[in-house]
Amino acid sequence: MRKMLLGLVLVACVASVANAQLNLFYDVRADKAEILAPAKPYTNINSLSPYIGSAIGQVYPLDNNGGKGDHAIVYICPKMADTTDYSGFGPADGIPESSYSWDANIDWTVADIYLYAEFHGASQVVSSIGVNQLIDANAFTVADDKAYLETVTASIENGSLWSGHYFTGSNDSVSLKFVNVPVTTGSPPTFDAAAGIHDGSFEQIAKIHIGSGLRQLSGGGAPVPVATYGAKLAVNELLCTKVQYPGTAGDLPLNLGYLGGAPEAATASGSVQGATSATDDFTVVIARKGDFDFDGAAATSIDDFAYYGIALNWNGLPAPDTNINRVELYLADFDLDGSPATSLDDGEYYKHNVINP
């Protein structure tokens, strides 16, 4: 009996090592608690507008009821020069048209997304994470007939998780390197199984700051449609590794991003430099506020069906319907107060109709 129990224990230990894995994924939510317990608008896919059809409005597809990996899309407005006042008819007032007319600090051309790490591996600690964040260089090329990005940079979050970190690069290629030496202080130092990213960890480790480029018109003066750019993670020369005590940790299975509500199938061992995610780990959608049909022109007649339908249901009696989805909240909430298509938003929506194309 004792031998059988010992055998079961050994099998359990082997399984825990074999099933160890590091998942890296992006999410626009800055608080991991919001990911673990998702709430509106991150759980909603339906529109508040009764007129939504195939060409009106954008519905966000959820894979996991708003859980991990469901919100790796950044919505951002192209930069627009200061050409008019709040009405759309007056002279320039010093506030770019890609900012809220009543508060220039509300800038729709910048947004953040966060890199998260979660790890499972009994008695193991992640000793290094080395990944490159790669975006098609074409996304930063200025040209007619396209919307483009201007800047993408990274900064550390929760730096106390690491013995050291080093970020370099920007825009199309950002290198992120994190190192952890999991030992306790004292003499002699001992292995610290609770250091950094350890068994059961789910932590935010970096913030990616994104800025759009100046709005372009086509050669014929028509608005440029919405552009979408993807970003992938790839293992760099630092590699992604783990350590354990006692014993030898072995290679670190690595999942890059979520797909269909679950971690994407392991790309490769974290020890394989150049191993790259098979699908985009986050995407950036460059779309003007108020452009519900994504044709590049805001607050046009087709957009009205979406905007005023949302306004009707959000502000209707006896109580507002709060089932707004995140895409339409971005498009219809100009003052960023969390309520779409309210009276303050109406003025901005009308202004953007005036300043078309």
**Residue-range definition of the domain harbouring residue 74:** 19-33+67-298
- Is there a domain that residue 263 lies in? yes
- Is there a domain that residue 191 lies in? yes
- pLDDT above 90 (res 16): no
Q: Over 158-187, what HEC string results?
A: CHHHCCEEEEEEECCEEEEEEECCCECCCC
- Is there a domain that residue 262 lies in? yes
pLDDT digits (tens, 9 = 90+) for 118-148: 999 999 999 999 999 999 999 999 887 889 9
- Is there a domain that residue 350 lies in? no
124-135 and 241-244 strand pairing: antiparallel
- Kindly state the helix (H) or strand (E) to which residue 309 belongs, with its residue range: helix 301-314
- pLDDT above 60 (res 36): yes
Helices and strands (H and E) in the chain: how many: 5, 17
The whole-number pLDDT of residue 11 equals 28
Summary mean pLDDT of the chain: 89
pLDDT digits (tens, 9 = 90+) for 60-89: 788 899 999 899 999 999 999 999 999 999
What is the rounded average pLDDT of the residues 16-23? 66
The whole-number pLDDT of residue 321 equals 62
Question: Which residues make beta-bridge pairs with 259?
Answer: 262
How many domains, in total, are found in the chain?
1
Neighbouring residues of 229: CB distance < 8 A, sequence distance ≥ 6: 135, 136, 139, 149, 283, 284, 286
The whole-number pLDDT of residue 267 equals 61
- Closest listed residue to residue 244, CA positions, set 204, 195, 201, 202: 195
- Closest listed residue to residue 152, CA positions, set 186, 113, 188, 119: 113
More confident residue, 55 or 102: 102
- Is there a domain that residue 317 lies in? no
pLDDT digits (tens, 9 = 90+) for 222-267: 888 899 999 999 999 999 999 999 888 899 999 999 988 888 876 6
Q: CATH number of the domain at 273, please.
A: 2.60.40.680
pLDDT digits (tens, 9 = 90+) for 161-178: 999 999 999 999 999 999
More confident residue, 145 or 42: 42
